[in-house]
Structure 1
């Protein structure tokens, strides 16, 4: 079992903390503020999310793919006016028959590393923004799990946050050479518009899409995600837990297709 190999027992925490939890009002207020920061991709907040995803409908054999994205976020203060935010996405993958009768593959996928230079304070109009490079790192342990290519390109994020609402978008574009095991070079644009609402007791309702356009294949990938998360504590450790569903409005040839699942567990380390 994929999860047993990489994170035994980790996601069993979800049910424990979401049922029957309560906290004093001042703790709820602090948690709500942290949850709002967590909705901001360039907040000055150290966090380590583990995001489990399941999708089916691949290929001609109704293949499936389960992967956990390990997504550490590390802010570094450059000076009193600027922060540098490091955001990493490293996928741990279990997939079966995603290209016809292709069998099972287990291991690491390619890493996407993004660095955002972001002002400490929003603009006068309330815009929170960041910009910097996005890097594709060939960390896949098998040719079926990645492209074996180095890549790079620009990335930017912009958002507004007020009255519990956080909304905006993150974009990047990555090019690579045509070297490596992939049949074609990487040339892809990524768009992530998002809308979050956080309640005073630290529940967050999330709606977003993680859309990719592959310029080489001329194909769209458009999953629409709807999630609910709760920020709480286990002892002194702040965590956010939750999950939801996604629907593939558009996908490349051979899938994925239909509905998918997402569960998320995030460890927070506020200053």
Structure 2
């Protein structure tokens, strides 16, 4: 348990020490910080970003197991025509977990990657709707049997949102079916739903609420997390970034913990 707390506390101390430095020495102009904070609420914005999202989760029964997940999530928008963007997004998890599956010991390594491609209009609709849709791939990159599915999967994904003044409201959904992989492992048929609402504040601050819900149709099991995350756009030297931190409430059956903490650093590369 102490090892997992150190994994969480050390990045937090490092991030907030950088935050203090950036505020004193290299503060991001307020208007630019506000614009970037608003763009970050939009998963299909024309903004290159590289999030490093850490989740420390506790209370996996029956052994009070723990799991640390570092999601590396580069997002790259590509202009494919005068009116359309292709938003490429990769989620590559690095996991260190202990007794998540009962008395299962410790596993550390990569989990499966999720690769999404959203075709999105560059301009919102007349009603202000921002949307994107395309394919999603499940890639079996896991380095341990207990960290992945050993299956290659494919399916559709879509996102839609509206930005109303300082508020952003929307949702993301995907579904993946396995089409190849280890025949000894269970097939994959999984739906992921993420509704979200966020409020931006002056100075690059934001507060977001979302739930990440997964329905495993093969196992007839559902699980998820409610996340409340505060964030701030800053600069670290000349690098623009966002810091985020907040609690997680875990729910559902199967291998689901009780509670957790989310923290992270998002590197920003505005055009």
Q: Aligned pair count?
A: 268
Task: Provide the residue aligned with 2:259 in structure 1.
Answer: 259
Cα distance in 1 between the residues matched to 2:6 and 2:17: 18
2:15 counterpart residue number:
14
Q: 1:263 to 1:24 in 2, by over 3 A?
A: closer
105, 119, 122: which one aligns with 1:120:
122
Matches within 5 A, 1:1-271: 11-19=12-20, 21=23, 27-177=29-179, 179-180=181-182, 183-248=185-250, 250-253=251-254, 255-271=255-271
CA contact (8 A) 1:143 1:181 kept: no
| Distance in 1 separating the partners of 2:106 and 2:27 | 49
Q: CA separation in 1, counterparts of 2:6 and 2:81? A: 43
CA-CA distance at 1:3 after TM superposition: 10
Query: Normalising by the residue count of structure 2, what TM-score does the alignment of the two structures yield?
Result: 0.92
Helix, strand or coil for the counterpart of 2:151?
coil
- In the TM superposition, residue 252 of structure 1 has moved relative to its aligned partner by 2.1
Task: Give SS of 2:58's match.
Answer: strand
Q: CA RMSD in A?
A: 2.4
User: 1:178 and 1:3 mapped to 2: Cα distance?
Assistant: 38
Shift of 1:26: 8.4
Query: Taking structure 1 as the reference length, what is the TM-score of the superposition?
Result: 0.92
What CA distance in whole angstroms lies between the structure 2 residues aligned with 1:105 and 1:219?
23
Report the CA distance shift for 1:56/1:178 in structure 2 as closer, same or farther (over 3 A): farther
Q: Is the 8 A contact 1:178 1:186 kept in 2?
A: no
Deviation track 1:227-268 (CA, whole Å, cap 9, x = no partner) reads 1000011121101002100112x3222x42321110010000
Structure 1 residue 45: Cα displacement: 0.3
Q: CA deviation at 1:17?
A: 4.1
* Shift of residue 12, structure 1, vs aligned partner: 3.6
Structure 2 portions without partners, runs of 5+: none
**Unpaired segments ≥5 residues, structure 1:** none
Decide whether aligned partners of structure 1 residues 180 and 17 sit closer, same or farther in structure 2, where only a CA change above 3 A counts.
same
Q: State how far apart, in whole Å, the 1-side matches of 2:124 and 2:27 are.
A: 28
1:59, distance to aligned residue in structure 2 (A): 3.2
CA distance in 2, matches of 1:246, 1:129: 27
